[in-house]
Structure 1
Amino acid sequence: MPQPRRGVRRRVLSRLAATAVAAVLAATAAACSSPGSSDAGGSGGGSGGKDGDGEGGSVTVALITSTSGPLASYGEQYLRGFEAGLDYATDGTGEVDGIAIEVVKSDDAAEPDTAVALARQRIGEGARIIAGTVSSGVAVQLSPLAEQNQVLYISGPAATDAVTGSNDYTFRSGRQTYQDVVTAKEILGGQSEGKKVVVLAQDSAFGQANVAAVEGVLGAQGMEVASVLAPPSATDLTPSAAQVLAEDPDMVFVAWAGDTAQSMWTTLDQQGVLDAATVVTGLDLRASYPVFGKARDKVTLLAHYVPGATDTPEAQALQSYFDAQGWETDLFTPDGFNAAQMVVEAVRAGGADGDTQAMIDALEGFTFSGVKGENTVRAEDHALLQPMFQAAFESADDGALPTVVQTFDAAVVAPAPAAAEGS
């Protein structure tokens, strides 16, 4: 039996309100389109209810993520993973229990205002589920919006810990920053006590979450924690590298996202940061592998996902789907696949009416096999417990691929509920 959650009393009080909101949204929903998906800008709104024959019906899922801007590559990985996951979880039908899952895709360009406007539009058109976003800054804006409108929100690769435990309506399909940092702690073992770590990150919700997590995990082990936060738009990162060196760290924890990663790693190498301290970072997308390859002996890699490293039924299905499409799996492919599995479970429980409370109840405590292994939605705060990895490149060749050095069980790298709520 799940332990009582923070929001349980609020939820009891809001059941009647949720029913009323659902009725209003159903009344204003756009007409049903054929099963499948549409690009941003199309109507694409499902009825959120049953059709005229009293059978089937559809539930609209609004996928809001970045397909342009600095995080576009991450958004594409998520969308491809979702497509493969939906195919797998519905046996290629796009339906569950006769209910069509209508997917509407929208580009938030990693801009919170754009994402909020799109979410409001899709909710007005009848969407009962919002999913996606690779931007932490977007995720922290969509979460309260989901609560206000009493719709389900399943965040994508956005890693900020602030999403976990934010409200009863918000879930996540990927890992969070705390899990990254705990993985780093496990990799380093007892090497951290009494030493100094500098967090190098962008001055964004994602970067700030990493500083907080390092303070909460490594700082609690007796490490002195400092940070260097670079402007997200910066292209010349020499000043940031100089600030890191000036701190005289024993360890540098790098948390970076977006298309300036290659420039950042080149600068750190040129400025001697990679030789001056133990550098720990997360394995990034495939496009960054050549950069990691050159620094492979100087960087310790934690990994949210290593392409091709698992052999679960879901990993096999994913690879088969991607092979047929001519795609390659990447860092955030599992997040999209997980999201589709969670959407199907939610729609199965919520029915064609998109009963939000029923969807929430179905996902809380939900354990399922995913691309990475077994996932569990922690009931009390909706953290997604999942395995994490240490990675290394298999050779010194420029085209070398990363492999798994060790796998950390989901329970070992689970975020502490109190830390997630306070982040």
Structure 2
Amino acid sequence: MSAHVISGARLADGSTTDLAIVDGRFVEVADAPADAERIDADGLLALPGLVDLHTHLREPGREDAETVASGTRAAARGGYTAVFAMPNLTPDTDTAEAAQYVAELGRRDGTCEVVPIGAVTKGRAGTELAELGLMARQGVRVFSDDGACVHDSLLMRRALTYLKPFDGVVAQHAQDPRLAGPGACCHESEISGRLGLPGWPSVAESTVIARDVQLAEFTGGRYHACHISTAESVEVIRWAKARGIHVTAEVTPHHLLLDTPHVETYDTTFKVNPPLRTSEHIEALREALADGTIDVVGTDHPPHAVQDKDHPFDVALPGMLGLEQALAVVMEVMVGSGRMDWPTLVERMAVAPARIGRLAHQGRPLAVGEPANLVLVDPERRAMVDREQTASLSRNNPYHGRELPDPVELTVWAGRVTYRR
């Protein structure tokens, strides 16, 4: 029997409590066995385990960049107890069998829960719907061609319609391929012109979302906008929510903190898709996350091997590590600035992503009878980020050399300690 007693923890609402865990659930402290491990949480916050709707684990196919084992260790170090694994694998997660395999890898090697995301189209090629119904019958509830946009309006309509009876959600990588083609890599602005980098205009994102939310209204389906990065997208989502459309949205930690001038060094660590934007867009994203227009923080954690980043900027693969510093960035940008309190952080990083992904046993209150998924957080600890001190196999960390909160003391998933400082 696994048992722990955590004493003196402060909850998000400011109250202090003792927590007891026996066999994966919270129990009354009096019911904990005498030999339970005692954990002193004085000065620490106890929060529900974090949930990431947008993780790239790379296995199967690119185990040189990340594996389920290494990626979930990074997740646990970041305070996560569940991650949704994007389908851009080899092979793509576009069949029920492929989804089952990803879930099995998670059960075998994971130090947090791994939930497969199914592809919307076969091979994520955008031409023919994947096995949506068969994957949904296996429990898949989130579907995305992430890394590629479902740009065909008819396919998007069909996907939203087909998934509605299954309570599935289409998570869109919004990038109009005509406005921002495969080579686009820098926010279209004075900087892109000066650096000679192909521009990625903000409207290439917002126009796709504008089309999609109207299709969601027409079909009654559920729609989720991945990694939004522009003020225009915020306004479209705000409009859609005011109309009662079933739309949710996410923002990444890096789009909350890092801006376009970081690319002036041509350091490919800062190449990401969608690209880093200007301060005006960042301010709109922060405001939208605070007021709930943006529902969740999704890491878009995309590990890359050194050889995939060691190219000219416009050729290198896009993406930045996110799992281990996501909480730190949100604390720095949102909580530290007074824009967000701890209960709202819990809503954006645990409760809402679990709700959108229909993961009923995650993002739950720290209460007797509930599954024991939690993270203990030191709200005062800070440290310099070192990309070499990581559980990930990759090193494309954009926060390297930056001082940030270093909050995670302990992560517990289903009653098991998965990370301890």
TM-score, normalised via structure 2 length: 0.29
TM-score, normalised via structure 1 length: 0.29
Higher helix share: 1
